[in-house]
Amino acid sequence: MTQPASATLEGASAKGLPARVAGVLLSPRDTYIAVAAHPRVLGVLVVVILIMATASYALLSSELGQRIVLDQQVRGMESFGVTVTDEMYRRLESRIAAAKYTGGLFQAVFVPLLTAAIAGLLTGVFSMLMGGTGTFKQVWAIVAHASVIIAVQQVFTTALTRARGQLASANLGVFVPMLDETSFVVRFLSAIDLFVVWWAVSLAIGLGVLYRRRTAGIASALVALYVLIAFVVAVFRSGS
């Protein structure tokens, strides 16, 4: 039987925002103990949104960046069987040109909603179905802090994209350059991003701290779910 989360968190000292942001990357367990004991959401979400919005602006502020993103969107639509007409292409162009300004506004709305939705789902699973004592506020704080990794992902991919002159990511597809990019294996591996795997493991550490459960079990479940989603996406794209 698991012990109440409060048994682990009693006496944990609070950390400042810079220490929490850095701690997610460098010392996640200690950081998540502090986050669960003193759950705060607003500050870290502002940091994540600012980083992501800045990365988006840096990419889309140049014609090269706009072209790269536009080409990727067109290829993505076509891979799902969508025929991109001239009119659709012109609409995409106009949206991409404005995205450097609207992207930050979109992220300011989307990131809090998405983290809250994930936190609500996880709270339902761990607190309601599995009998844990963590609160929604604690879980939301953990999910929000784990999002620092997604912000780092945006910076990494933006820098690599600008350096290479083509859209880049840290997916497993880069390890099989000898295979046809339209093959199922490449599509499956390309749907698995290493930063998302890192995010899932980091999130598992936070949930393990809060609910007094083994990190390995939670991480395995989260990564397995992510891989399953990637497999379904690859199947759908291969059959379209």
Is 144 contained in some domain?
yes
Residue 8 lies in a domain: no
The DSSP code for 124 is: I
For the beta carbon of residue 155, count every other beta carbon within 10 angstroms. 14
Question: Which residue did the predictor score with more confidence, 172 or 202?
Answer: 202
The count of domains in the chain is: 1
Contacts of 112 (CB under 8 A, 6+ apart): 45
The encoded tokens of residue 186 equal 């490449």
pLDDT over 70 (residue 7): no
List Cβ<8 Å contacts ≥24 apart for 108-115.
108/49, 108/53, 111/45, 111/48, 111/49, 111/52, 111/147, 112/45, 115/41, 115/45, 115/140, 115/143, 115/144, 115/147
Q: Is residue 228 part of a domain?
A: yes
Closest CA to 167 of 159, 178, 177: 159
Task: Report, as an integer, the average pLDDT of 202-224.
Answer: 95
In a domain, 143, yes or no: yes
The answer to whether position 48 is within a domain reads yes
Averaged confidence pLDDT in the chain: 87
pLDDT at 79 (0 to 100): 66
Residues 6+ apart with CB under 8 A from 42: none
Average of pLDDT values for 218-234? Answer: 93
Q: How confident is the model at residue 240 (pLDDT cuts 50, 70, 90)?
A: low
Q: Is the pTM of this model over 0.85?
A: yes
Give the confidence band of 68 by pLDDT, cuts at 50, 70, 90.
confident
Flag whether 183 is in a domain.
Answer: yes
Confidence (pLDDT) at 105: 87
Which pLDDT score is estimated for 180? 80
| Residue 110 within a domain | yes
- When pLDDT is cut at 50, 70 and 90, the band that residue 6 belongs to is very low
pLDDT in tens, 137-167: 999 999 999 999 999 999 999 988 888 877 7
Candidates 24, 203, 39; CA nearest to 121 is 203
Write the pLDDT tens digit of every residue in 98-133.
787 888 888 999 999 999 999 999 999 998 888 888
Residue 24 has pLDDT above 50, yes or no: yes
When pLDDT is cut at 50, 70 and 90, the band that residue 3 belongs to is: very low
Taking a C-beta distance cutoff of 8 angstroms, is the pair 211, 41 a contact?
no
- Give the residue numbers spanning the domain of 134: 16-239
Q: How confident is the model at residue 4 (pLDDT cuts 50, 70, 90)?
A: very low
Count of H-run helices and E-run strands, the chain: 10, 0
| Domain annotation covers residue 90 | yes
* Tens-place pLDDT, residues 190-212: 889 999 999 999 999 999 999 99
